[in-house]
Amino acid sequence: MSYLEVNRVSKHYKKNQVLQDVSLDVESGRTLVLFGPSGAGKTVLLRIIAGVVEPSDGTVFIDGEDMAPVEAEHRGVGMAFQNFALFPHMTAYDNIASPLTAEKLPASTIEERVQSVAKLLKIDHVLAQLPRALSNGQKQRTALSRALVGEPPLLLLDDPLRNVDAKLRFEMRLELPRLLSGRGATVVYVTQDYKEAMAMGDKIAVLNEGRIQQYGTPEDVYLRPATIEIARLFGDPVINLFDVTPNQGADGLFASLSGVDIPLPDLSEQIAGSECVLAVRPENLEFVDAKADNAIPVIVEAETPLNEKVITLAMTTGGREILLSRPAGAPGIASGNAHVAIKIDSTLMFDKATSKLLGSNSNESNRGEAA
Amino acid sequence: MSDIKMSIESVDKFYGPINDSVAAVSNLSMQVQTGEIVALLGSSGCGKTSTLRMIAGFEEITRGNISIGGQLINRLPPVKRGVAMAFEGYALYPPLSVRDNIAFALKSTKLSQSEITSKVNAIADMLEISDILDSHPSSISGGQQQRVSLGRALIRDAELHLLDEPMGQLEPQLRALLRGRIKHYIKSNGLTAILVTHDQAEANALADRIAVMEEGELQQFDTPDTIKERPANLFTGTFIGEPPMNVFDASVHRDGDVFVFTLGQKNSVNLTYTQDQLGPSIGSMLESRENITLGVRPYAVTRRAEGVPATVMVNQWLGDQSHIAADFADKSLVMVEHDRSPERSGEDISIHLDPMSLHFFDSETGDALSHGGVLVS
Amino acid sequence: MQHVSLIERLLRGVALILVVVFFMFPIVWIVLMSFQTNETILRVPPSFIFEPTISNYKALITGKLETSAASLEINFLRNLGNSVLLSVGSVALALLLGVPAAYAFARHKFKGSEDIAFTLLSFRFAPPLLVLLPLSLYFQKIGLADTYIGLIWVYQLICLPLILWIVRGYFEDISPDIENAYRIAGHSWFSTFRKIALPLAGPGIAAAGLLAFIFAWNNFIFALVLASADKQPVTVGALAFVTASGIQYGQIAAAIVLSIAPTLALALYAQRYLVEGLSLGAVKG
């Protein structure tokens, strides 16, 4: 049963439409990631759920209850902010204790609970400090502790790892799910980092320009992105895009790339002769022998290693730039002439005009939009 | 080509009184070969920016010498040093269009107008800023400004190109492509470049050699592969590599032909290796030690049926890699796999640490002792 | 390049001294005057060397003004007391009304809120005399003329816009997320105002209060028109020193020293808050 339900929520400031007809639901104990570029409306949606911004239209239900008449302080949510939003004039202890003081709990209980959450997040030694004396990492952990200490059934995390350095971000990405799952809370997690989205989310809602573009599991979004734009947002390095016009040959569908005819998998749509975009993830391109089937001749321009992978920039004879990715240590070619092949079963085909994904059972992945 | 383009000899930098204040850079010596890309890598306050500014001539050199192209430049004003620089804050000229910003330094050269135009167009194509050439800096995004600033530096024909945090603001979708193009451009034009960055991904992607700095001192200066495979100390070992190296404090004892490493306290794990597995010279190194720090890269952690048990806590699939954190010896052991791994949290796995992928460090000093069976000389 | 040469340091010192002399000279001169008799003040050329006398202060405190022609009763201490009462009273009232209003203007944008805020500010634009004439007639009708309450009310024309506009800026500088965080933690909006907004804008409120106090203290025209002798503050009271037999420069100087002393003391004491208040941005987040 869904714990949080957002029903056709819209928000506009004067003429500026920030959210348009957004509907979502999150099951109890699950994590929903709101993913999108800055200005997509993620933060506003989170604040509407928290009750500090009123929607222009639509309803938010928490645990089945309409939240319209419920003030922020009575919604029982915990929230962590991107800029931490710590109270600068209170110690870390008082910051963390603030949700408990509101409940008027006895001092000993407050002390006990603050200490236990601080210990869990490894900040028990800085509780007496004011926020300005804390490092960025400690600030972030204090903000998280404050959101967690009241054990709220609904947790809203607004890009909590954005303002910490790369190392810490990585550490917290692995640590956070552990902290969250231990509490059984329902979580809405906002991020601009596709890795965080895939790592944290049971479901991902891709938000852009105030609308939900796709709503599905990390698998749906990565393997069956609804649009070219989404395909470009997920994955590092970015997905390769080739403009092609498929032809119907004797052995099936094929497209011509740099003078090489590449066979294409059959799709449910009839795409022969129409303008399409063939999208190939860098990890689905490999160096092959010149004599291999469908080998595309290229010139390797540069090799740039990236997190245990090696990224190669190559230029086809037709002047198209392509990016290849392979695990570090796997054999590759660092410069000069080479041949590459496409693992065709892992490619995606988009309609050039609408930029929509072709040939997928797109009903599943577009459910958010339809709901 | 192995002639030296730039050399730094025993350079110190003090901002306060000499020797009484903390040294921003201390006893730094390094050489950059012609045609090389070198990255100065470190966290903020490590001395990398001071070093760059001394090379460019914006800071006085407290002690030591810096020469470019064989010429001592300590006392030369910035303009005479033959360096081109891309600034971290972009420092574009606000009243000039993007085109004029990029062409600015070429105006004083003997190039004809049409040559300048074609050069500017080529570099704008490379940096994906052709469509904003007539805009002014105030009307373009931060990422675009950064690309303009890069273009203005790269278009110049200088002895040395200095790039200060050149790609921090680039749009994620463009990053891999631009890194590739810029590397290709620098290499194919035979430029020599020094880039300063705190982002190891950027340093790894672009640099032939990386100078890792911390607290004003050079920790290691080597190729990215060597730094990864043979870090000089625990600092570089954990600083370079994403995800970072797994590090465990262990006690060692010898049991006949077998070395037993005990990791962790509460749920301690024993790793046993024979002398042969560890490598011949490692045994004698371990002989005299009771405690040792042991490191293993996340991608070097493998799984094997008869391995050591661990419990998966988190398994995160990122599309092209899986990152797994497992409970192991009171800590979490991070592993990277290039395929999608099916494990869920709570499942037990059996892991194997290949002795050839272990790094040993001195527990006291943090200095590296051996890497994969080879002692550090 | 960051080593400052001797010449540069010297020039800086000279420039600094010039500025200090330029700004401090009138005050120093007045303090010197307050310890002189009228005769020594008026001699030509003026001189820094004189025999100090405290007769001017004595006259002010005893209320007996002795001149060569006659002796005159003045009530300077009463004036000083009036100044304190009027300034403190009007600043207190302005804070009580202005701070919540400033918060409302900062946090709740509604239709016309900008217009209302601007209207309040516009009280400062009108020449006071224009307001005063009708106001004094009204005040006489309703019995507010020559009362402390009436004066404090009129003083709001000075204090309220000042506090409203300065404090509003400080409230706007507090990140709404900090207040949102406190609300979401389960606290009511009033408690959020009291526990988060007020303390964070504290330095700004102090700075605004101090400025308002100084403006109120220095006000002349309102009290001149609306108050009789026993309710007049020092600014108006000083007029008494312009007597038929001449201007009592010595006493005027002493009166000025006494009347700027409290504001000066307050400003020095509150300097810490002022600086903190003006750099509130550093406290955010």
Question: Is residue C7 domain-resident?
Answer: yes
Query: Cα(A73)–Cα(C70) distance, rounded to whole angstroms?
Result: 73
Contact in structure between C205 and C167 (CB atoms under 8 Å): yes
Q: How sure is the predictor about A165, in pLDDT bands with cuts at 50, 70 and 90?
A: confident
Chains touching C (at least 3 CB pairs under 8 A) are A, B
In a domain, C162, yes or no: yes
- Look at residue C245 and give its three-state secondary structure: coil
End-of-domain residue from the set B239, B270, B301: B239
Residue A237 Cα distances to A283, A352, B111, angstroms: 9, 21, 37
B232 and B368 fall within a common domain: no
Same domain? C209 vs C126: yes
Residue numbers in A near C177 (CB within 8 A): 81, 83, 85
Torsion angle in degrees (nearest 10) through CA of B341, B347, B350, B351: 60
Select from C29, C56, C73 the last residue of a domain: C73
Q: Which is higher by pLDDT, A343 or A181? A: A343
Domain boundary among B239, B258, B284: B239
Average pLDDT over chain B reads 92
Range of the domain at B175: 4-239
Mean pLDDT of B261-286: 89
Residues C100 and C259: their CA atoms lie apart, in Å, by 31
On whether both C237 and C97 belong to a single domain, the answer is yes
Sort A195 into a burial class: Cβ within 10 Å, 0-12 / 13-18 / 19+.
Answer: buried
Say whether both C132 and C266 belong to one domain. Answer: yes
| Of residues B43, B176, B183, nearest to A236 (C-beta) | B176
**pLDDT on residue C218:** 87
pLDDT tens per residue, range C22-32: 998 888 888 88
Statement to judge: residues B319 and B212 lie in one domain: no
pLDDT tens for each residue of A6-29: 999 999 988 889 999 999 999 999
| Closest CA–CA distance from residue C211 to any residue of chain A (Å) | 24
Between chains, do C1 and B15 touch, taking CB under 8 Å as contact? Answer: no
Query: What does the pLDDT look like over B338-372, one tens digit per residue?
Result: 888 888 888 999 999 999 999 999 999 999 999 98
Question: Within chain B, where are the H helices?
Answer: 48-56, 98-103, 113-126, 142-154, 172-188, 200-206, 224-229, 234-239, 275-278, 280-287
Q: Is B287 on the interface with C (CB under 8 A)?
A: no
Q: Residue B254 is part of a domain; what is its CATH number?
A: 2.40.50.140
- Closest approach of A197 to chain C, Cα-based (Å): 23
B195 pLDDT above the threshold of 70 = yes
Using CA atoms, how far residue C229 sits from C72, C82, C146, C219, C277, in Å, is 15, 10, 9, 15, 38
Asked if A86 and C284 come within 8 Å (Cβ–Cβ), the reply is no
Q: What is the mean pLDDT of residues A238-249?
A: 91
What does the block give as tokens for A150?
């009241």
Q: What is the DSSP string of A232-254?
A: HHSSSSPPEEEEE--EEETTEEE
Task: Decide if pLDDT at B203 tops 90.
Answer: yes
- Which domains, ranges and CATH numbers included, belong to chain A? 2-227 (3.40.50.300), 240-355 (2.40.50.140)
Confidence (pLDDT) at C188: 93
Mean pLDDT of chain C: 84
Instruction: Let me know whether C90 and C37 are in one domain.
Output: no
Which residues of B are less than 8 Å from A309 in CB distance? 320-321
Chain A residues with beta carbon closer than 8 angstroms to that of C181: 79, 81, 85-87, 98, 146
Do B181 and B291 belong to one domain? no
Q: Which residue of A has its CA nearest to C200?
A: A89
Name the residue in chain B with its Cα closest to that of A173: B316
Same structural domain for residues B63 and B34? yes
Q: Where do the H-state alpha helices sit in A42-193?
A: 42-50, 92-102, 107-120, 136-149, 166-181
Is C68 found in the same domain as C102?
Answer: no
Do residue B358 and residue B228 come from a single domain? no
Give all chains having 3 or more CB-to-CB distances under 8 Å with chain B.
A, C
The verdict on a CB contact (< 8 Å) between A302 and B201 is no
Is pLDDT at B204 greater than 90 in this prediction? yes
Q: Tell me the chain C residues in contact with residue B60 when contact means C-beta distances shorter than 8 Å.
A: 1-2
pLDDT at residue A368 tops 50? no
Three-state DSSP at B176 gives helix
Indicate which CATH number applies to the domain containing C194: 1.10.3720.10
Chain C hits for A150, CB-CB cut-off 8 Å, are: 185-186
Does any domain span residue C81?
yes
Average pLDDT on A165-190 reads 87
Do B316 and A307 make contact, defined as CB atoms within 8 angstroms?
A: no
Measured between CA atoms, the residue of chain B closest to residue A310 is B205
| Pair (B198, B74) in one structural domain | yes
Which residue on chain A is closest to B179 by alpha carbon? A304
C59 and C89 belong to one structural domain: no
Do B256 and B151 fall within a single domain? no
β-bridge mates for residue B311, sequence order: B327, B348
* Residues B276 and B210 reside in one and the same domain: no
Question: C181–A75: do the CB atoms touch at under 8 Å?
Answer: no
Residue C158's pLDDT is 87
Residue A253 has pLDDT above 90, yes or no: no
Mean pLDDT of B101-105: 92
Total domain count, chain C: 2
Determine, yes or no, domain membership for C251: yes
Give the A:C interface size as CB pairs under 8 Å.
Answer: 72
Following CA atoms B78, B81, B82, B87 in sequence, which dihedral angle do they give, to the nearest 10 degrees?
Answer: -40
Looking at the structure, tell me whether residues C125 and C232 fall in a common domain: yes
Q: How confident is the model at residue B115 (pLDDT cuts 50, 70, 90)?
A: very high
Which of A175, A177, A236 is nearest residue B172 as measured by Cβ atoms?
A236
Chain B contact for C1 (CB, 8 A cutoff): yes
Looking at chain C, how many residues does it have? 285
Using DSSP bridges, classify how beta strands B63-68 and A31-35 pair: parallel, antiparallel or unpaired: unpaired
CB contact under 8 A, A178 and B314: yes
Peptide bond into C100 cis (omega under 30): no
Hey, which residues 158-187 in chain C have their CB within 8 Å of chain A? 175-178, 180-187
- pLDDT-based confidence at B55, cuts 50/70/90? very high
Same domain, B370 and B256: yes
pLDDT at C147 over 50: yes
The pLDDT confidence band at residue A294, using thresholds 50, 70 and 90, is confident
Q: What is the mean pLDDT of residues C185-210?
A: 91
Per CB-CB distance under 8 Å, the chain A contacts of B177 are: 237-238, 313, 321, 323
Q: What is the mean pLDDT of residues C178-190?
A: 93
Question: Using one digit for the tens of pLDDT, what is the confidence trace for B116-164?
Answer: 999 999 999 999 999 999 999 999 998 999 999 999 999 999 999 999 9
Residues A52-107: tens digit of each pLDDT? 999 999 999 999 999 999 999 999 899 999 889 999 999 999 999 999 999 889 99
Question: Domain holding B124: CATH number?
Answer: 3.40.50.300
Residue C285 counted as domain residue = no
In this structure, are C136 and C258 located in the same domain? yes
**C172 shares its domain with C58:** no
Q: Which of C107, C111, C183, C184 to mutate to test the interface with A (most CBs of A within 10 A)?
A: C184
At residue C65 the predicted structure's pLDDT band, cuts being 50, 70 and 90, is: low
pLDDT for A366 equals 40
Tell me whether residues B321 and A232 touch, CB distance under 8 A: no
Please check the confidence at residue C2 and state whether its pLDDT lies above 50. Answer: no
The answer to whether residues C90 and C64 belong to one domain is: no
Is the pLDDT at C44 greater than 90? The verdict is no
In-domain check, residue C284: no
Strand partners, A351: A276
Measured between alpha carbons, how far is A147 from A207 in angstroms, rounded to an integer? 24
pLDDT higher than 90, residue B263: yes
For residues B264 and B228, state if they share a domain.
Answer: no
pLDDT bin (cut points 50, 70, 90) of residue C4 is: low
Give the pLDDT of residue C1. Answer: 43
CB contact under 8 A, A87 and C184: no
Cβ–Cβ below 8 Å for A52 and C186: no
pLDDT band at B34 (very low <50, low <70, confident <90, very high): very high
Are C66 and C104 within one domain? Answer: no
Out of C73, C102, C121, pick the residue that ends a domain. C73
Tell me, yes or no, whether B80 and B95 share the same domain.
yes
Chain B residues touching C1 at Cβ < 8 A = 59-60
Comparing CA positions, the residue from B263, B367, B253 lying closest to residue B308 is B263
Mean pLDDT of C123-140: 83
Q: Which of B239, B259, B282 is the last residue of a domain?
A: B239
- Report which of residues C221 and A323 the model is more confident about: A323
The domain tally of chain B equals 2
Q: Are residues C69 and C85 in the same domain?
A: no
For residues B308 and B202, membership in a common domain is answered with no
When mean pLDDT is compared across A163-167, B213-217, B359-363, the lowest value belongs to A163-167
Instruction: Name the residue range of residue C194's domain.
Output: 76-279
Which of the listed ranges A150-154, A316-320, C24-28, C111-115 does the model predict with the highest average pLDDT?
A: A150-154
Is residue C221 very low, low, confident or very high in pLDDT (cuts 50, 70, 90)?
confident
